[in-house]
Amino acid sequence: MTLIFILGTIAVTVGSVSLSPLHVWKIIINKSLNREIFSIEWKKSTEMIVWNLRVPRVILSLLSGGGLSLVGILMQALTKNSLASPYILGISSGASTGAVISIVLGGLLGIGFSPGIGAFIFGTLTAFLVFYLAGNGGYSSTKLVLIGVAVSSLFSGVTTFLVTTAKNEAQLRGAMFWISGSLAGARWDSLTTLFIVLLISIGLISLKYRELNILIAGDELAETLGVDVKRLRFLIVMVSTFLTGFIVSATGVIGFVGLVIPHICRGFVGSNHKRLIPSAILLGAVFLLGTDTLTRAVFKTQEIPIGVITSMLGAPFFMSMLRKNSYNFGG
Amino acid sequence: MKKLFLFLLLTTLTFSSDSIRVVSTSQFTTEMLLAIGAEDYLIGTSFLDDEILPELQQKYNKIPVLAAGAPTKELFYSLNPTFLTGWQSIATPKNLGTIEELKENGVEVFFTKSQKTSNIDDIYEDILYFGKRFNLEKNANQVVKNMKSDIEEVKSKNLGKKKIKIFAYDSQESAPFVIGGNGIGNTMMEIAGAENIFRKSSFSFGTGSWEKILDENPLAIIVIDYGDKSYESKIDFLKNRSPISELEAVKKDRFIRIPLSYLSSGIKVSKGIEKISEGLSEEQK
B253 and chain A in contact, CB less than 8 A:
no
At residue B137, does pLDDT exceed 90? yes
B141 and chain A in contact, CB less than 8 A:
no
Q: Quote the distance between the C-alpha of residue A150 and its chain's center.
A: 21
Q: What is the pLDDT of residues B62-92, one digit of tens each?
A: 999 999 888 999 999 999 999 999 999 899 8
Residue among B174, B210, B229 whose CB faces A170 most closely: B229
SS3 A66: helix
Rounded mean pLDDT of A12-29? 79
> Do the chains contact at B174 and A301, CB–CB below 8 Å?
no
CB atoms within 10 A of CB B13: 9
Structure confidence at residue B15 (pLDDT): 45
* CA A325 – CA A74 distance, rounded (Å): 22
Lowest mean pLDDT of A33-47, A108-122, A212-226, name the range: A108-122
CB atoms within 10 A of CB B217: 16
Rounded mean pLDDT of A147-163? 88
Q: Which of residues 201-220 of A touch B (CB under 8 A)?
A: none
Q: What is the pLDDT of residues A237-261, one digit of tens each?
A: 888 888 888 888 888 888 888 888 9
Asked if B91 contacts B68 with a C-beta cutoff of 8 angstroms, the reply is no
Instruction: Determine the Cα angle at A86 with ends A65 and A286, to 5°.
Output: 10
Lowest mean pLDDT of A143-147, B22-26, B124-128, B209-213, name the range: A143-147
Q: How many CA atoms, within 13 angstroms, populate the side-chain half-sphere of residue A216?
A: 19
B281 and chain A in contact, CB less than 8 A:
no
Q: What is the overall mean pLDDT for chain A?
A: 82
B248 and chain A in contact, CB less than 8 A:
no
Which residues of chain A have a CB within 8 Å of the CB of B244?
48
Q: Give the pLDDT band of residue B49 (cuts 50, 70, 90).
A: confident
Which residues of chain A have a CB within 8 Å of the CB of B209?
15-16, 184, 301-303
- Type of residue at B242: S
Which residues of chain B have a CB within 8 Å of the CB of A302?
201, 203, 206-209
State the DSSP H helix or E strand holding residue B46, giving kind and residue range, or none if neither: strand B42-46
Structure confidence at residue B16 (pLDDT): 45
Q: What is the pLDDT of residues A71-117, one digit of tens each?
A: 999 988 888 877 778 777 888 888 888 888 887 776 555 555 677 78
B218 and chain A in contact, CB less than 8 A:
no
Asked if A150 contacts A130 with a C-beta cutoff of 8 angstroms, the reply is no
Q: What is the pLDDT of residues A167-191, one digit of tens each?
A: 666 667 777 777 778 888 888 877 8
Q: CA of B33, closest CA in chain A: separation in Å?
A: 24
Query: Phi and psi of B259, rounded to 5°?
Result: -65, 145
Structure confidence at residue B13 (pLDDT): 46
Q: What is the pLDDT of residues B222-237, one digit of tens each?
A: 999 987 778 998 999 9
Lowest mean pLDDT of A48-57, A113-122, B150-159, name the range: A113-122
Q: What is the pLDDT of residues A227-239, one digit of tens each?
A: 888 888 888 888 8
Instruction: List, in order, residues 6 or more apart from A177 with CB less than 8 Å away.
Output: A184, A252, A305, B172, B174, B175
> Do the chains contact at A169 and B227, CB–CB below 8 Å?
yes
At residue B138, does pLDDT exceed 90? yes
Lowest mean pLDDT of B12-21, B87-96, B158-167, B196-205, name the range: B12-21
Q: CA of B115, closest CA in chain A: separation in Å?
A: 17
* CA A81 – CA A140 distance, rounded (Å): 9
Q: CA of B272, closest CA in chain A: separation in Å?
A: 21
Q: CA of B247, closest CA in chain A: separation in Å?
A: 8
Which residues of chain B have a CB within 8 Å of the CB of A164?
none
* CA A133 – CA A252 distance, rounded (Å): 25
Which residues of chain A have a CB within 8 Å of the CB of B248?
none
What is the complex's ipTM, to 2 decimals?
A: 0.71
Q: What is the pLDDT of residues A118-144, one digit of tens each?
A: 888 888 888 888 888 877 656 677 788
> Which conformational region is residue A252 in: left (phi greater than 0), alpha (psi within -120 to 50 degrees), or beta?
left
Asked if A10 contacts A58 with a C-beta cutoff of 8 angstroms, the reply is no
> Do the chains contact at A16 and B177, CB–CB below 8 Å?
no
